[in-house]
Structure 1
């Protein structure tokens, strides 16, 4: 009876010793993800539409209808200059037109009764057309006294006051359309063949260091600078919240050769000369066994590496414990890293 009791105890001790002798490894899944080759550059933001409004006549400001930084609509009256003299000329011309219209109508009625010559009728109509032309000319002059927004946008600082005398060309206020921002940057000509309109890019700025702004290439310049050997590129970025401003310096990362590829942690790669290997974890109901497999790698980026050949999505590979791992050997799988659980957390939980 004593001998029968010792047999299973010996087996248990033997199994425990064997489990402790197995190399401990941590695994990671090969994932299929979108990958691209980044091209970095520096660019400057500009508004989609930008203008500095100025006067075309000399006169005194009579009315200002905006505040600093206000959003204005297309056609909104921003500044009106004193136009009393021009308004008086317009009223005089309108009165003259009414007089000539009445004269033309009387001449037409007399001709209908054969009491007036046809030449008199034509003369009266000609004078009426002249009066119409005079009114249009005065109205065109009056438009110069009203400075309106040519498009919807945001005005800058107001550095003028009512009663100030303005002259032609004098800068009165800036107006920028900020809903869409244009980003201009240069790219070396060797990358010209990789660029095309519609290519996506990400940008960052020191003003918002923790945020990434996305956009796409809109236009590629038609000429290469013979001095810098670069081509100008213009991209468009959404700016509905108005945080981006003209003149900002932006760091640009163009996403070239966008593709779906298999990616694994770079720590899983075992280099051997010009060849690269990974340790595959093969699991069955009873055992966890390691298998060395050669892979072809592509780009490396931020601790990850692109796998061109040798792995399939969801393959389980060793990312920690490679020093003791051998091809064909059984192993003890501590856990699998993911977005929420790292190697350190798995090691601490295994203590």
Structure 2
């Protein structure tokens, strides 16, 4: 047994080493074979067919309400009543808040008492003046006292009216900024009210493009994925000297489901035409200096810089960078590499 134990041990070790080496070579060969046998990327392409279409200038803007106000109290005092129905529609004149008016009510009662006495004094002196029992100066002084008391009463009533805050117009109430019982001043914002009809959009144009819009002209407004035709209402009276831009305001159609402050993209027609191709947005590769698309040239992928224009939902206009007949990759862009082979799975000709 001892004579055969050493050779058997050596034979087993040699066999294991041989099997391990074969296994490693097999794995290496398999990996190398996968790399060599990797096929070209499968892509869908669109054959560019430029067509003439209206040229436009694109500007950024925001939706604005026809009326919007921050409600401040006109006098200082403690809130005794607060009626802020957040997000609800209210009518014009609805009472929003009341401020403690006890001191003003007392002042008005005092002034009314003095006014009553001065009226009686005036009536007595008027009778005496008719009988020449008093001189004109005394009567004029009594009349002046009545007028002074009436003015004091009117002033106190005006202050009392300021303790009641009402909605200046019908609209949607914003968020409540204070609580009942708080001490407020004219600098305190109670809430906001905005009109929920006749929405408008404000946007700016470079001064060179200012002649493109006039009151009554139409512009295309994109809100999210939808487009609306808006009518230009007015232009700012002068160009901003810092930005060299002109502010334009356009009226949106009734019933547009938008909230004031929403970002809007506006297209203003220049009246000219330009050759362009509409591509799916998925075909665009954003770049630091320019947008790019992937072209198929001689069976290989090639990056091409393009100038993009208006976006419409899931498509974008290409203003320059493409020639008629170019094959643009629309699906499988992420799997392509410049100079690497690609295989066209589907080709579509579309202008």
TM-score normalised to the size of structure 2?
0.58
Partners of 1:179 and 1:57 in 2: CA distance: 31
Which residue of 68, 90, 94 corresponds with 2:108? 90
Residue 182 of structure 2 corresponds to which residue in structure 1?
164
Residue 254 of structure 1 corresponds to which residue in structure 2?
268
Residue 311 of structure 2 corresponds to which residue in structure 1?
none
Verify: 1:130 aligned to 2:148, yes or no: yes
Q: Which consecutive unaligned segments of at least 5 residues does structure 1 have?
A: 1-34, 259-296, 304-351
Verify: 1:184 aligned to 2:181, yes or no: no
* CA displacement 1:279-304 (0-9 Å, x = unmatched): xxxxxxxxxxxxxxxxxx9776869x
Residue 67 of structure 1 corresponds to which residue in structure 2?
85
- What pairs up with 1:277-288 in 2 under 5 angstroms? none
Tell me, yes or no, if the aligned pair for 2:172 and 2:196 is still in contact at 8 Å. yes
- TM-aligned CA deviation for residue 121 of structure 1: 1.3
Higher share in strand = 1
User: What RMSD over aligned residues (CA atoms) do the two structures have, in Å?
Assistant: 2.5
- TM-aligned CA deviation for residue 228 of structure 1: 4.2
Which residue of 216, 235, 260 corresponds with 1:220? 235
Q: Which consecutive unaligned segments of at least 5 residues does structure 2 have?
A: 1-52, 280-351
TM-score normalised to the size of structure 1?
0.58
SS in 1 for 2:195: strand
Tell me, yes or no, if the aligned pair for 1:57 and 1:167 is still in contact at 8 Å. yes
SS in 2 for 1:98: helix
Tell me, yes or no, if the aligned pair for 1:199 and 1:256 is still in contact at 8 Å. no
- TM-aligned CA deviation for residue 57 of structure 1: 2.9
Residue 252 of structure 2 corresponds to which residue in structure 1?
237
Residue 347 of structure 1 corresponds to which residue in structure 2?
none
Tell me, yes or no, if the aligned pair for 2:206 and 2:246 is still in contact at 8 Å. yes
- What pairs up with 1:104-123 in 2 under 5 angstroms? 104-123=122-141
Residue 276 of structure 1 corresponds to which residue in structure 2?
none
